[in-house]
Structure formats: C-alpha cells, structure tokens
Structure 1
Amino acid sequence: MDVYLIDESGISQRTADELPEMVRSANDNGTGFVWVDIPQCRLQESEMLGDVFGFSEIALHDCVIRNHVSKIQAYDDHVFTVLHAPQIGAHGHVHYIELDQFLGANYLITIHGPLNPKVEPAVAFVDTGAVLDRMKSGKFLPRTAFELSSAIISTMTRREIDMIATLAEQSGKLEQRVMSGEVMKDSEGFLTDLFQVWYELLAIRTIAVHSTATYDRMARLARFLPADHEPLVADLADRFEMVSSMADGQRESLHGVIEFFQTRVSTHLTIASDDLAQISVRQNDDMRKISAWVAIIAVPTAVTGFMGQNVPYPGFGTAAGFYASTTVMLVMAIVLYVFFRHKEWL
C-alpha cells in the first residue's frame, strides 16, 4: 500500500508503520490529512484498516469481495462508498473496475479491485494515478480529503465522457455504412458491431446511474462534511448525471441508425418479394401457354396415333377418309386455340 501525508507543504510519502501516528496527529492538529492507496484489500490490509481506523466488519468485507453495484454506507465520522469505472475489453465486453473509498474528515482510503484476471492491473490506477501525478508536479494540492476524492472522481467521469465520444465516432461510422449501402454486403458483421456499441453505451450509462444515486445519497447522509463541501457532492452527482444523459443521447442516436437499417432491409425485402411475385406470375403465364400448345399439338398426335393402329373406320384406306381425318384435326386444334385465346392463356 502507498501512504501519503498531504498538508500545506505538499504531498510526502510515508510508510505503513507511520500510519497510526499520522492519523492521530491529523485528528489532534486538524491540519493536513492522510491518503492511503491500496492496490487490493486482502485479509492483512482489512485487519490493519480495522485496527487503525475502526471500520465496520461489513464495510471491510465489501472491500475484500467484488461488488457488482455501487454502494454507500454512512457512519458518524466517515462514509464508505463502492464505485465502478467502465473498461472496454475484448469483443466489446465492459469490465467494471471497482474503486472503494473510506472518506473521513482527515483521511481518504482508496482501495482497488478485486479485478477480473483478464484486466491489466494498471487499468485500476488510471484515475488515482493521474491525480497523484498532478499533486507531485505541484499542479494540484487538495485542502481536504474530500477535495482529493472529488478530483479522483472527476477524472473518472472525464474518462467516461471520452469513452462516450469514442463510441459516438463509431456510431457515425456505422451510420455511414448504412447510408452507403455497404451494410448489405455484410449484415451480420454490421449487426455485431452495432450491438457491441449499443451494449457499451448501456454499460456506461448503468454505471453512471448507480454512481449518481450514490452521491445523491451521500449529500443527505455525510453530516461530517463541511458546509462548503456540499456543492462538491452535488457537482459529482451532476457529473455522473451528465455522463448518463450523454450515454442515453448517444443510444437514441444509435437507435435511429438501427431503425434506418431495419427500414432499408425491409425495403429491400419488399422489392425482392415484388420481383419474386412478378417472376411467379410470368412463370404461371408461361406454364399456361405451354399447356395450351401441348393440348393443341396433342390433337393430331391422338388422331394419327389412332390411325396408326390400322383400325378400320368410315373412309379407311381412301382419300376421302384421309381428308376427313385431317379436317377433324384442324377443326379440333382451331377450337382449342380459340378457347385458350378466350381464356387468355395464349
């Protein structure tokens, strides 16, 4: 763990052994505060926090396990919060990067994780690391523990807004694919990309909504905070609300892309169905014509076939019989032709 003392002279790193005396001194003198940053809270760290700060077993238990939703537990002299920051992983999966905080009048305890094994450990320290760098460079010196916590959370919300901006750019590219007609060449790939962006926006919005509720409740419960810090609590709630609203707005925009894609696909299906219906009609017309000509051609075939049996009939073997049979074939063929023309088969 990293232990820091922050006072008017700046930030100085101390050892864990000095922590109990630092806390007593901060409480007695009322100047400066302690920041303890813990990469992962295990049994040893949990016991140390309980001994030095007197935190409840319930809160310490929440530090050890993974929490899937934000939490807040308010006590007389401190507040415990569980927050999450989104981290987009492989195939669009959004990891919930947990940050637990014990916030008191003269101390801030930040605890990272536990993390999913697939997440790089450095990801957990992006926000706290950015604030620490600003403090070490002299660009930022918080007066109180809550100002430090507020700076860390503000960094987190800015990063979430940057994520939404990146997803907005991806949404624009998806819209271009629909407008250009490229999407029809690979509809399955387009849908995969589209719903991946949709899910990422939804995950960011969910995290922001939970965090907003946490800080709204903190504004009502954290009685130990100075009166001039109340606007900071409200500002953090507003920041998360803004992240939620931006994610919602981008999801609405993406929904428009989805509707346009569905309309385009539906239009193509309608046109294809109409073409298929016209082809079916033409095929039916062709079949009727073929059937009609087959029926007409069958007449002389039937007559000549009957004659081919050498069956005697009136005029058999005479010229008159030949002309009579020919006339019968012609008359029957003409009658069938006229009939099919009347039925509009020919």
Structure 2
Amino acid sequence: MARTRLYRHGVLEAEGFPVAEVSDHLHDPEAVVWFDLLSPTPEKLAVVSEELGLHPLAIEDALHPHQRPKIDVYDSHLFLTVYAVRLTNGGLDLSELSLFVTKNALVTVRDSDSCDIDAIIARWDNTPRMAKHGVAFLLHGVLDYVVDGHFDVAEDLDDRVEQLEDQLFSDTPATGRAMQRQMFDIRRTTVRFRRIVLPMREVVTSLMHRDLEIIPSDMAPYYQDVYDHVLRVSEWTESLRELVGNVYETHLNLQGNRMNDIMKRVTSWAAIIAVPTAITGFYGQNIPYPGFGHAAGFWSSTALIAAISVALYVVFRKNEWL
C-alpha cells in the first residue's frame, strides 16, 4: 500500500491510493497531495520529476545519501534535506529524509524505514483544523517530528554525561580505560549530532523568509516554535560538547591526583622500611657495636627501629601522606 494522502479544501479526502494517480490531482488548485517514497529507484524519481517539474540537481541530491542538512530554492519548488535521529547504544541512528515542496504537493523520500512515517501522520491527524493551510501544514508536521527527535537525543546525551559525572566521584569509579572509552563515544556522538543540528537553524530560518511565500501568516507562529526548539537544541549541543571536554579534563586531573596519592604512600612506606634497613645494615659492619654479643644490644636496636618507624608513620599520617 502506497503512503499517499489527498487533502481538498483542508479536509482529508483519500489516502493509500497508488502513486500513479497523484498526477490526476495535481492540476486541481484546491487539492494538496502528499506521497512517500522509500529508497526509490532513479527511474521512479525520474517519473516524479516529470510530473512535478523537479530540478535535476534536486533529484541527484535525493539519490545520493549523506547530504548536509540544507534547503535549496528552485523556481518551481523547494528541496530540503533533514535527518531523523535516534540514540542507541551503538551511537546515532540517522535516517536521511529528502523533501520536495511545491505549491500543492509534498514528496518525502526516505533512505530507510527507521524514520517513523506513522508518527508524522499521527501529528497531522492530531491537528486536522490546520490542514486548511495545505503544504505548509504538512511540512510543519515533518519538521516538528524531526526537531522533536533532535530534542530527545540531546536530552539522552545530557543524561549520559551526568552519569559520567557521577562515576567520576563515586566510591567505586570505573576503570580508567572504560571511562575514557565512554567519554570518547559520547564526544564522537555529540560531534556527529552537532553536524546535524546546527544547519537546521538555516533551514528553518530560510523557510520563514517571507519572499518564499510558503508559510502563511497563520502558520508562522508554529514555524517559530520549531525554530525555538532548533535553537535550544543547538545551544544544548554546544554546551554538551564543552561539558564532555570538562569531564575529560576532570578525569585526567583526578587520575593525576590519585597517582600523587599512590606515590606519597609508596614513598612513605619506603622511608619507614629504610629505617630498619639502615640500622641493621649499620650493625652489620665488621666491627663491634654497642651491645655486641649481648641480648641488650639486640633489644635496643629493635626498640630503636620500632620507635623511629612509629614516629615516621605518625608524621606521614598527620600530613595525610598515608
């Protein structure tokens, strides 16, 4: 079943009809058509291009993945590239979404089914009174879904950074290698996410430009709300990147402090052990020493070792070296 919809006079009139029937409705100025293409072939996109008069460069961008989020303005239509994003244990799950926007048609081209098109349709169905705004209404539903997904990812990344912060000062901190691996993964994910989020400001700002005459005045506040979310996610992503860097620096400082504590303890115990070594070594000379050949000499040297060792232990303990 094709993912298609037909709105006429702001009312959903039909859905699920074949894509081949789309051209029958495009000549009606009161009709608004949406249809979705999942990993289409070049031949199928060529047919769509002839029906809608799409620019060859836009078709080329839709066929070649890994485009930068952008908006291209052509004489007869707009072309947008955005990304639906999910955060998984393995990192970011990106789903590239290409949009062709004409006066009475919206075409969505997905590279995979990880983009939940049913969630987008649900947003349209939840606000049927806005359907009278035609393509602007449909486009808003797609962008709102995409940006809300960005917001969820930023929130999940923030939670993961907070977990790293808690591990830094926990009683049983993670091993250095495991901690560094987690920080590296989060930092890499944040950098990738930033490349997706930052260009969205330009995309939404360009759509709101009045010269395009795409967004009616009644829909402007809704697009402004999307832009506010984009701006907030962008600022959140920037702060997350700095925060991960601060966590990494703090982790290195804590490791240095722990190393200093270990060195102080090792040095302190070495100093304590050096006392009996020095005394017994001194008495090991080939000359008679005080108390030589008597039990009193043994006990006096033993008492001297114990007294000096205890004194050093007390001093080191007082200076928090042990």
5 Å matches for 1:83-102? 83-92=82-91, 94-102=92-100
Counterpart residue number, 2:155 = 165
8 Å contact 1:86–1:96 — kept in the other structure? yes
- CA shift, 1:141, in A, is 4.6
Match of 1:269 among 239, 259, 264: 259
Equivalent residue, structure 2, for 1:17: 20
Whole-angstrom distance in 1 between the partners of 2:129 and 2:177: 49
Which residue does 1:317 correspond to in 2? none
Q: 1:71 to 1:136 in 2, by over 3 A?
A: closer
Q: CA deviation at 1:168?
A: 2.6
- Aligned partner of 1:2 in structure 2 is 3
Alignment of 1:220-299 (within 5 A): 220=209, 223-226=212-215, 228=217, 229=219, 232-295=222-285, 298-299=286-287
Q: CA deviation at 1:57?
A: 1.3
Q: Is the Cα contact below 8 Å between 2:87 and 2:156 reproduced in 1?
A: no
> What do residues 296-346 of structure 1 show as CA deviations (whole Å, max 9, x unaligned)?
xx236xxxxxxxxxxxxxxxxxxxxxxxxxxxx99xxxxxxxxxxxxxxxx
- Identify, as 1 or 2, the structure richer in helix: 1
Offset, 1:201: 3.1
* Larger gyration radius, structure 1 or structure 2: 1
Aligned-pair RMSD on alpha carbons?
3.0
Partner of 2:38 in structure 1?
39
Alpha-carbon distance between aligned partners in 1 of 2:220 and 2:51, rounded to the nearest angstrom = 27
**CA-to-partner distance for each residue in 1:213-238, whole Å, 9 max, x for gaps?**
22334444962425525555544333
Distance 1:293 1:189, change over 3 A: same
Count of residues in Structure 1 that have an aligned counterpart in Structure 2: 287
Judge conservation of contact 1:208–1:244 (CA < 8 Å) in 2. Answer: yes
TM-superposed CA distance for 1:149, in Å, is: 0.9
Q: Is the 8 A contact 1:103 1:146 kept in 2?
A: no
Q: CA deviation at 1:262?
A: 3.1
TM-score, normalised on structure 2? 0.77
* C-alpha deviation, 1:89, in angstroms: 4.0
- Counterpart CA distance in 2 for 1:86 and 1:172 is 21
* SS of residue in 1 equivalent to 2:214: coil
Percent of aligned positions that are identical: 15
Q: Secondary structure at the match of 2:169?
A: helix
Counterparts of 1:108 and 1:237 in 2: how far apart (Å)? 20
**Residues 105 and 224 in structure 1, CA contact (< 8 A), matched pair in contact too:** no
- What does residue 189 of structure 2 align with? 200
Residue 95 (structure 1) shift: 3.0
**Do residues 213 (structure 1) and 202 (structure 2) align?**
yes
Cα distance change on mapping 1:11 and 1:152 into 2, 3 Å: farther
TM-score (norm 1): 0.72
Q: Amino acid of the residue matched to residue 207 of structure 1? A: I
- Aligned residues of 2:86 and 2:149 also touching (Cα < 8 A): no
Maintained 8 Å contact 1:205/1:244 = yes
Deviation string 1:84-134 (CA, Å, 9 cap, x unpaired) is 122334533x23210000111111111101x4xxxxx3x22x1x3213134
Give the gaps of 5 or more residues in structure 2.
294-322
